[in-house]
Amino acid sequence: MYSSKLANLFKEKRVAIGDTIRVEKADFAIEGELMPNTEAGSDSSIIVKMKSGYNAGILFDDKVRLEKVSGRKTKSEFPFAKPKADSKLPKVVIIWTGGTIGSKVAYGEGGVESTVKPEELFYYVPELPEIANISMNHLFSVWSQDLTYTEWQKLADAVAKEINAGARGVVITHGTDTMHYTAAALSFMLKNLNAPVVLTGSQRSSDRGSSDAFLNLIAATRIAAGSDIAEVGICMHASSSDDKMAFIRGTKARKMHTSRRDAFRAINDKPIAYVTLDGKIAYVGDYRKIGKSSAKVRAETKFEPLVALLKTHPNSDPEVMQYYLEKGYRGFIIEGTGLGHTPIDVAHEGRSWLPHIKSAIGESAVVGMTSQTIYGRVHPNVYAPLRVLNNAGVVFCEDMTPETAYVKLGWLLGNYDNERAKELLNKNIAGEINDRITYDEFLL
Amino acid sequence: MAKEGRVDDETRYKELGFMCGLEIHQRLATAKKLFCDCPAAIPENPEMLGTVSRFQRAVAGELGNIDRSAEFEELRGRKFVYMVPERNTCLVELDEEPPHKLNEEALDVALALAGSMNMHIIDELQPMRKEVVDGSDPSAFQRTVLVAVDGEIEVEGHRIKMPSIFLEEESSGIVSSKEDEITYNPDRLGIPLVEIDTDPYIPTPKAAKAIALYIGTLLRVSGKVQRGIGSIRQDVNVSIKGGARVEIKGLQEVDKLDRFVENEVLRQQRLLEIKELLKKSNASVDNAIDVTGMFRGSSVRIIANHLEKKGVAHALRLKGFKGLLGKEVNPDRRLGSEISDYAKMAKVNGLIHSDENLAAYGFSGKELEELNSRLGLEEGDAFIIIAGQKSNVESAVKLAIDRAKYALVGIPLETRGTANTELCTTKFLRPLPGGSRMYPETDARPILITKEKLKAAGTSALDVENEKKKLLAKLQNKGLAEQLLTSPKLPLYKAITASTKADPNFVANMLIQKFTELRRGGFAVDSIEERRLADLFSEYADGIITKQAVDELLKEMSLKKESVEDLIAIKRLKRISGDGLSALILDTQREAGKKMTADELRNVIMSKYRLNVDGAELNAMLSK
């Protein structure tokens, strides 16, 4: 945003974003299109796009003279394509929810626009209509860090509706940061699922020639249109190269890198399948297959938001649990250390989590234990302190990631009473617990 | 070609409507890269961690337009493989991590350069992305920043406006290139480059060369530039009245810049003449037909070979083009070569056209007759045949038709590269990019240039005259000093004279004159590492080798990788002097078995030990 001083000057000179202006300083002048001022730089810089395409920022002061040269030349319009529907191909619905895959740098009518319209993406990925008979459902455009359980609920309802209306599979474009939370939520919420539900996104925005969006979208569509997988999962790059994409079970996926294309990894699990550039699907893990059942998909979307995900660490203050209990929280997932430890040594006053855990359980809250090592299984017996926690009623969440355990507990408490939720927390419901972790399922 | 002596004929070029501007790119010798913390220096033998492969697509700029050169590259659909050198590449180069802060050290160099060209610094620099989809950057764009505008320099009486200086990232180097796959080494990717542009009003090719030399000197005087092959590159934009702007990219030898420019002028003149002739002959271009059947088992090997590999051959008529496809537009380049350049972009080996010696290709009379009738050729018509894999041939034919049709319109806007360094000719690389390929680098913040920053840059303003004075004080030969001043070897000279005790006159003479002589003799002296050159001059300064041996060793070093010490031992080039030389004189005398005159002794010794004995020392001893 421009400073109010500049905004007034533009008003006075009848200059709008996109107009060609001339900015004169003491001894030189610059001519070009007036661009919006983003939050990145000074709000007193007049940003001009010169004929060469370069932007330059001219700091405004009393000596700067500004004149309008001409009005906006052309309205910016991005190329787009409507996918042509081929009814002989399997019907795939793409549900659009926002994120990097749907963002671009663009100056629209006077502002910075951040949304790629689905049709624009189709222009760059002409392969899609050759894989499936595609239709679009633009559900919402939200950055994934801003998503809440209410969007998960909307999404689960939308997926169930599309499949019950005849979709062979569903692709969901989604921001990557919390994609694994959404994937876990859908895994628990969708009952009688008999079709592939594929979340995908990108680590490089789709306005870059190097974006991973194109291949991720193609691979996700291939899984939705051609696989016999009846599960929710995430389909993104399997390596830094544009060579194969992995489809990872929704309850076992985790974003393990801030920026790499192959950020999503199967934790304590293998990917279910890989999709290669030639379109082939190679199945490598066990999975639930599409069956003959004609039962409708049911979205059981009830969710208890009063669940906290807490991380213990050296010097951590356990009184934080008290804060949540006072607000009526019904569940806690602790991201402990190693095999599932939390500080319980009473020698350090006020540092033991044990009394707080006990008081939470005493108020019938459910307390689940996971590990911040991410990989591996927690264990209630190996060391005495673990046994102490276990005896206090903490549920050791096997090999679940902290995020999946969090989503699962919220879903359980939304649908069951505390007692039943506690019983089910470490029982497998949607592939979130793997009884056998094999040697190769580490840093995969 | 324009005759010597007319090159600086300003009137002649003015009449031609000659327009010419330069873009000079120079790698900076900063500690780190421009937008990440990898070292900017390139190691000699980097360890590779593996490779990463990618594809790129043309996307729209911030205003919604897709750049024509980007779209063209995408049509080629190539796979890009990137090597991953351990020391010089992090996730930023591999497009796996957002950029870090802009390198302040590089910015200071750019600000100092801007100051020395009387430019106006932009208050708030806006990092931009320039779309590049030839794969040379894994991110599919180059980060670039406009630093200053509106300067002026004076070179040999010409006042030249300097509209802009940019700070940008170097691209990756090509390791190998196959039909549909290019391998790059990103070790140099992201090294800071400055790009300095002139306005398009350079009056003559000779002035263009002089200005390029001057700017090169200015850059080297900054002391913060990398040296060695490829560290400085000149792009030249040329057009004449009725012609079109053509960018000749990546000229590395500034000495030949004027000849490249002259040839581009000539090419545009010839193409305009061809255009007029085509108009007169009512020329047009037909669509292609499939002639695969005709050439099965043909004795035209370059077609038959493709057909044996399930390829196809397509032919088309160029009505009224007869004689013009073979018309020379540049030394050893014809209109046919121009069209062939385009076809080759679609992965075919080239094309055959009817102005070539068809009998030499092995065409039979019957084949030509059948071709004539199938294409409906009449007097004055020409044809083109393209063979290869079906999809490639289809694209190649389309590209060739478009280029042939353009011969009737004029001269296409092109980016061209070197075709032949000896003849100074160029070939088509890709369409000239437009402004659509620029959009903001939103991952990097704008940089406010503070008064303090400007002050720091101002105090380090560069002075070419001062540098010249320093050289003249050290070197006896004024001409040599002036040559050195504008030579890319200046920093090398400074480094060697600073690190060894070698006589500056000798070093300058070797780097300028001897290097030119050896280069002409086919020795790749410019690729000798600076470290080995310093060793060489140090051995000479310490009296370990003679002057003549320095010549000999330069030749050896351009061919072999051994250390200077080893080469001296292998080639037995150690200097014989003092007691050793006295002993040699006595031995020579004794071997002859008779009394020899000083002249006789000198002749015998020098004919055998020319490279080991210093003539002056021998003379002094003999005269005793």
Mean pLDDT, chain A, as a whole number? 92
Mean pLDDT of A368-389: 96
Is residue B75 pLDDT above 60, yes or no? no
pLDDT digits (tens, 9 = 90+) for B314-356: 999 999 999 999 999 999 999 999 999 999 988 899 999 999 9
Classified as helix, coil or strand, B535 is helix
Mean pLDDT of A16-25: 92
Is residue A75 pLDDT above 70, yes or no? no
pTM, whole model, 2 decimals? 0.85
Q: How far is B286 from chain A (nearest CA, A)?
A: 30
Tell me how far apart the alpha carbons of residues B29 and B226 are, in angstroms, rounded to a whole number. 5
Mean pLDDT of A354-379: 97
pLDDT value for B593: 81
pLDDT digits (tens, 9 = 90+) for A239-256: 999 999 999 999 999 999
Q: What percent of chain B is modeled with pLDDT above 70?
A: 95
Looking only at the bridges linking them, the beta strands covering B128-131 and B141-155 are antiparallel
Mean pLDDT of B161-168: 96
Q: What percent of chain A is modeled with pLDDT above 70?
A: 94
pLDDT digits (tens, 9 = 90+) for A323-337: 999 999 999 999 999
Comparing C-alpha atoms, which of B567, B341, B445 is closest to residue B127? B445
Residue B192 confidence class, pLDDT cut points 50, 70, 90: very high
Least CB-CB distance to B59: which of A28, A53, A208?
A: A208
pLDDT digits (tens, 9 = 90+) for B563-612: 999 999 999 999 999 999 999 998 988 888 888 888 888 899 999 999 99
Least CB-CB distance to B138: which of A79, A207, A210?
A: A210
- Which pair of structure tokens corresponds to residue A94? 């793409």
A241:B164 CB<8 A: no
pLDDT digits (tens, 9 = 90+) for A258-268: 999 999 999 99
pLDDT value for B167: 97
pLDDT digits (tens, 9 = 90+) for B127-157: 999 988 789 999 999 999 999 999 999 998 8
Mean pLDDT of B260-279: 97
Mean pLDDT of A375-387: 95
Q: Which residues of B touch A259 (CB under 8 A)?
A: 91, 96-98
Which of A100, A178, A182, A221 is catalytic? The answer is A100
pLDDT value for B143: 97
Tell me how far apart the alpha carbons of residues B452 and A86 are, in angstroms, rounded to a whole number. 64
DSSP state for residue B218 in the 8-state scheme: H
B463 and A CB contact within 8 Å: no
Q: What percent of chain A is modeled with pLDDT above 90?
A: 78
Tell me how far apart the alpha carbons of residues A251 and A408 are, in angstroms, rounded to a whole number. 9
Give residue B231's region: left, alpha or beta (phi > 0; psi -120 to 50).
Answer: alpha
Is residue B293 pLDDT above 80, yes or no? yes
pLDDT value for A10: 94
pLDDT value for A77: 63
Looking only at the bridges linking them, the beta strands covering A281-283 and A273-276 are antiparallel
Mean pLDDT, chain B, as a whole number? 90
Comparing C-alpha atoms, which of A82, A175, A174 is closest to residue A134? A82
Tell me how far apart the alpha carbons of residues B365 and B198 are, in angstroms, rounded to a whole number. 55
Residue A111 confidence class, pLDDT cut points 50, 70, 90: very low
Residue A208 confidence class, pLDDT cut points 50, 70, 90: confident
pLDDT digits (tens, 9 = 90+) for B501-543: 999 999 999 999 999 999 989 999 988 988 899 999 999 999 9
Classified as helix, coil or strand, B75 is helix
Length of chain A: 444
Is residue B550 pLDDT above 50, yes or no? yes
Mean pLDDT of A334-357: 93
A53:B438 CB<8 A: yes
Q: Which residues of B touch A107 (CB under 8 A)?
A: 62-63
Q: How far is A295 from chain B (nearest CA, A)?
A: 42
Mean pLDDT of A93-105: 81
pLDDT value for A397: 98
Size of interface A-B (CB pairs under 8 A): 144
Give residue A18's region: left, alpha or beta (phi > 0; psi -120 to 50).
Answer: left
How many of the other CB atoms lie within 10 Å of CB of A367?
A: 25
pLDDT value for A110: 36
The interface predicted TM-score of the complex, written ipTM, equals 0.92
Mean pLDDT of B198-204: 95
DSSP state for residue B47 in the 8-state scheme: P
Residue A114 confidence class, pLDDT cut points 50, 70, 90: low
Mean pLDDT of A52-78: 85
Which of A91, A104, A173, A177 is catalytic? The answer is A177
Please report the residues numbered 92 through 151 in chain B whose beta carbons come closer than 8 angstroms to any beta carbon of chain A. Answer: 94-98, 120, 122-126, 128-131, 133, 138-141, 144, 146, 149-150
* Cα B65 from chain centre: 30
Listed range (A27-31, A130-134, A212-216, A227-231) with the worst mean pLDDT: A27-31
pLDDT value for B57: 83
Least CB-CB distance to A57: which of B62, B98, B122?
A: B122
A209:B131 CB<8 A: yes
Helices (H) and strands (E) in chain B, counts: 22, 24
A-interface mutation test, from B126, B142, B245, most A Cβ less than 10 A away: B126
Contacts of B355 (CB under 8 A, 6+ apart): B322, B323, B324, B325, B326, B327, B334, B336, B382
Nearest CA in chain B to A46: B124
A-interface mutation test, from B53, B62, B84, B137, most A Cβ less than 10 A away: B62
Place of tokens 């120079």: B26
Is residue A352 pLDDT above 60, yes or no? yes
pLDDT value for A109: 37
Between B297 and B103, the higher pLDDT residue:
B103
